[in-house]
Amino acid sequence: MDAATLATFLAASVASLFMAWAIGAGSSGSTPFAPAVGANAISVMRAGFFVGILGLLGATLQGANVTEAVGRELVVGATLTPVAAIVALTIAAGLVAIGIFTGYPIATAFTVTGAVVGAGLAMGGGPAWAKYTEILAVWTLTPFVGGSIAYGTAKGLRNDAIPELVAIPVLAGIVGALIANVEFVLLGPPGEAASLATTTTTSLPGRLGVTLLVAVVAATALGADIRDDREAGQRHFLIALGALVAFSAGGSQVGLALGPLLPLFDTVDFAVPLVALLFGGGLGLLVGSWTAAPRMIKAISQDYSSLGPRRSIAALIPSFTIAQVAIFLGVPISFNEIIVSAVVGAGAAAGSGGVSGGKMGYTVLAWIGSLVGASVLSYGLYTAFTAVV
């Protein structure tokens, strides 16, 4: 590798780390524990600390699908060059950083997707319409599905006809069933991921049996906890859900920072295991979470809705579910969109829920603007750079 190539490669890596830091400080670092912080189940600083650790684990164990999608599936007929990767990552990270310091949650998935597509098209690549359709479907359905599930769950928990000693353990059982079917790299053969249910048995009845067993164990454990101390049991469940969402955030968001780098590693004469790249990206998320996430945690937990423990639980369950579906599909998704829509849905179950309509309006405009703006800026900057150099 000559000096010029090495310098360009290092510049692209620095841009990727900057993106990872911005993601850790923003969407993956702030949103997972925001409902738990809003319900006073955990402090802002502790949330920032734990989300960094959990994000690192999620990035390493679940980050491959989204990383591959961002790096290789957003544009057809063209492979990102080092310059294109630098342009896309720098613009996306810059927009996210602006959101962090202004207090508005810029959707990271929107900015990175737009920037990568803009740079790829400027290189002469073609639109990947099939992938765009899949991504747009997930992005469009997320606020409606997440908000509706959160609303229905919150309504159920507030219904006096359903005893809390029954309702919350049942929800824990549903979460346990989901966990039994979540895929991890360590459970699968080399280069593949597998779930606890599929690793234990290959038959459908066997998988259902494992799923049911995990669900029963989770429900029984939380039921016993709530019977001993209702408030403590709620708090423990809420923190556990926040941890699951933080883990999922790492598995989803690391691909936004690392994906544009994948084509670069195809050009070098040495092999770098994907898990090593994922771990490095996870470290970037961790640093971002530890250094800058508390500001955005406060913005999400206090500015959007005032939630108690039950409504916070209702917000985190669909957030975890949607995140894992997106990871499985290899779709880059915004955790700001997931969490904010779930928080609004759960808050609406108690009337207005303290939701700020003006804040939500500005946030939606920021999401749309970040997608369009990142694409246009990336396309224009790459075109101008290549015309000059």
pLDDT digits (tens, 9 = 90+) for 265-323: 776 666 677 788 889 888 888 888 888 777 667 666 665 446 678 888 888 899 999 99
pLDDT of residue 385: 85
pLDDT in tens, 40-83: 777 778 887 888 899 899 999 898 889 989 988 999 988 888 88
If one compares 368 and 382, the residue with the highest pLDDT of the two is 382
From CA 254, how far away is CA 367, in angstroms rounded? 19
Residue 10 Cα distances to 6, 82, 95, angstroms: 6, 9, 22
335 phi-psi bin (left φ>0, alpha ψ -120 to 50, beta other):
alpha
From CA 74, how far away is CA 29, in angstroms rounded? 25
pLDDT in tens, 179-205: 999 888 777 777 677 888 888 877 888
- Amino acid sitting at position 213: L
In a domain, 378, yes or no: yes
From CA 244, how far away is CA 247, in angstroms rounded? 5
Q: In the structure encoding, which two tokens stand for residue 42, read together? A: 């955990």
In a domain, 213, yes or no: no
In a domain, 175, yes or no: no
In a domain, 297, yes or no: yes
Residue in the structure block whose two tokens are 């190539």 = 5
Q: Are 253 and 52 in contact (CB under 8 A)?
A: no
How high does pLDDT run on average in the chain? 83
Closest CA to 66 of 18, 14, 138, 2: 138
> Domain count of the chain?
1
Structural domain that includes position 19? 3-157+246-316+329-388
In a domain, 203, yes or no: no
Computed over its alpha carbons, how large is the radius of gyration of the chain?
21
**pTM as predicted:** 0.86
In a domain, 279, yes or no: yes
Contacts of 73 (CB under 8 A, 6+ apart): 128, 131, 330
Q: In the structure encoding, which two tokens stand for residue 348, read together? A: 């609406």
In a domain, 169, yes or no: no
